[in-house]
Copies of this chain bind each other. A is one copy, B any other.
């Protein structure tokens, strides 16, 4: 049971780790569909390389759909798959606990300590 339980938790974590995945998902969720360049504008600090690799991983996991328009100049749109929409409860769960925890950390260590962690 140890294995099963942790395997699955780690599977879930897998699609969320990678420094940029949460924020990428957030934007795609919010806009329904986004082009590569639009994502770049929304997350300016990310490099093309990272953006590409993170999107590819999300695509592999069937969370994100990649639609390529065969045209010049190229156009590629990313969207959340039907299956991918199923992660919402998990994200909500992480989000709400995260908020609680930020408050808790502030209580424990003060405003400053939390900011520059």
With a cutoff of 8 Å between Cβ atoms, the chain B residues found around residue A12 in the complex are: 94-95, 97-98, 101
State the Cβ distance, A86 to closest chain B Cβ, in Å: 7
A71 within 8 A of B: no
Assembled-state Cα–Cα distance A13/B90 (Å):
12
With a cutoff of 8 Å between Cβ atoms, the chain B residues found around residue A68 in the complex are: none
- Are A104 and B90 in contact, CB atoms less than 8 angstroms apart? no
Assembled-state Cα–Cα distance A11/B61 (Å):
23
Assembled-state Cα–Cα distance A86/B13 (Å):
18
State the Cβ distance, A87 to closest chain B Cβ, in Å: 6
State the Cβ distance, A99 to closest chain B Cβ, in Å: 4
Assembled-state Cα–Cα distance A11/B16 (Å):
12
Assembled-state Cα–Cα distance A42/B42 (Å):
44
- Are A8 and B95 in contact, CB atoms less than 8 angstroms apart? yes
With a cutoff of 8 Å between Cβ atoms, the chain B residues found around residue A62 in the complex are: 104, 108
Given the interface pairs A12-B95, A13-B16, A90-B94, the reply to whether A101 lies near B61 with Cβ below 8 Å is: yes
Instruction: Give me the 3 closest cross-chain CB pairs, A-B, nearest first.
Output: A8-B98, A12-B98, A93-B93
